[in-house]
Amino acid sequence: MLRFDVLTLFAGYFEPLRTQGICRRAFDSGVVQLHTWNPRDYASGAHRSVDDRPYGGGPGMVMLAEPLLGALHAARAARAAAGAATAPVLLFSPAGRVLRQPEVRELAESSGAVLVCGRYEGVDQRFIDLHVDDEVSLGDFVLSGGEIPAMALIDAVARLQPGVLGDELSAQQDSFSDGLLDCPHYTRPPRFQERDVPETLMSGDHARIARWRRDRMLELSWRRRPELVLELERERRLDRDDLRLLDTLRANGSRGGEA
């Protein structure tokens, strides 16, 4: 069972995850569990402050270490009481390592994680140094808090749980399942604004369709994310047909651009 304990000042963000779409199924069936812990509940003083002004001056506020530690201890105790295995503590920040699907897959097979959602200008560095195992980034942009990255991570692992996607195969067939971008998809009608569905997809020839899809994955990945294709090539994970197409793509000199 996959259990997430989320340290957040804004537990309400996570409600839609429990009540909508694919993730809802994961929560309803109990294969994924989510518990939120509000640092404010572990704050001391009459004002129960969770933030204070930064030493050294400057704009904004910094999250206090103590209320976060109180929330972390409560989360750890609850996990232990529930018999859940110890889990890594992850903090979402653009300074972290960018999350990729192999790590998502690893997390999906684990017992979960404690997710720390920062707010304001950031978290007191001593809490990070002493209690955070890994910093996780979703990319080079700045948000107002770690909640949305936490939701993204939970969604990414929830959909990989057995029985959560209606069609078990679709989890395997998605972008990145094979280290490549996904191929284009088409549905009815056969003609839309003068554009026809690619003839191969209407042919009923399953082998030809599979090869067409694989070629489109390679072609799209080569144009937009050549490093993905080069990684598969290095790891010898391309078959002979893949390598033949790759030769053609290289000859056309279309790497990197959209030309």
Instruction: Just list the catalytic residues.
Output: 94, 121, 159, 174
Identify which of residues 135 and 178 has a Cβ nearer to ligand 9WO in the complex: 135
Residue 204 beta carbon to ligand 9WO: minimum distance, rounded to whole angstroms:
44
Residue 252 beta carbon to ligand 9WO: minimum distance, rounded to whole angstroms:
35
94 binds ligand 9WO (CB under 6 A): yes
Residue with the CB atom nearest ligand 9WO in the bound state: 118
- DSSP states along 211-253: HHHHHHHHHHHHHH-HHHHHHHHHTT---HHHHHHHHHHHHTT
Q: Which of 80, 51, 77 is nearest to 64 (CA)?
A: 51
Identify which of residues 144 and 252 has a Cβ nearer to ligand 9WO in the complex: 144
Identify which of residues 146 and 179 has a Cβ nearer to ligand 9WO in the complex: 146
Residue 146 beta carbon to ligand 9WO: minimum distance, rounded to whole angstroms:
4
- Beta carbons of 6 and 37 less than 8 angstroms apart: yes
Residues 120-149 touching ligand 9WO, rule: CB under 6 A, are: 120, 122-123, 137-139, 141-146, 149
Measured CA to CA, the distance from residue 210 to residue 156 in angstroms comes to 26
**Which residue has tokens 């903090």?**
91
- Beta carbons of 113 and 151 less than 8 angstroms apart: no
Identify which of residues 23 and 90 has a Cβ nearer to ligand 9WO in the complex: 90
Identify which of residues 123 and 160 has a Cβ nearer to ligand 9WO in the complex: 123
**Which residue has tokens 């899809």?**
213
Question: Which three-class secondary structure state does DSSP give residue 40?
Answer: helix
118 binds ligand 9WO (CB under 6 A): yes
Residues 151-210 touching ligand 9WO, rule: CB under 6 A, are: none
Measured CA to CA, the distance from residue 42 to residue 197 in angstroms comes to 58
Identify which of residues 57 and 139 has a Cβ nearer to ligand 9WO in the complex: 139
45 binds ligand 9WO (CB under 6 A): no
Measured CA to CA, the distance from residue 92 to residue 148 in angstroms comes to 9
Four-residue CA torsion sign, 245, 247, 249, 255: positive
Residue 41 beta carbon to ligand 9WO: minimum distance, rounded to whole angstroms:
20
Q: Which of 4, 37, 92, 127 binds ligand 9WO (CB under 6 A)?
A: 92
Residue 71 beta carbon to ligand 9WO: minimum distance, rounded to whole angstroms:
15
Residues 6+ apart with CB under 8 A from 239: none
Helix axes 101-108, 147-158, angle to 10 degrees: 70
Residue 253 beta carbon to ligand 9WO: minimum distance, rounded to whole angstroms:
34
Residues 6+ apart with CB under 8 A from 236: none
List interacting residues with ligand 9WO (CB under 6 A).
92-95, 118-120, 122-123, 137-139, 141-146, 149
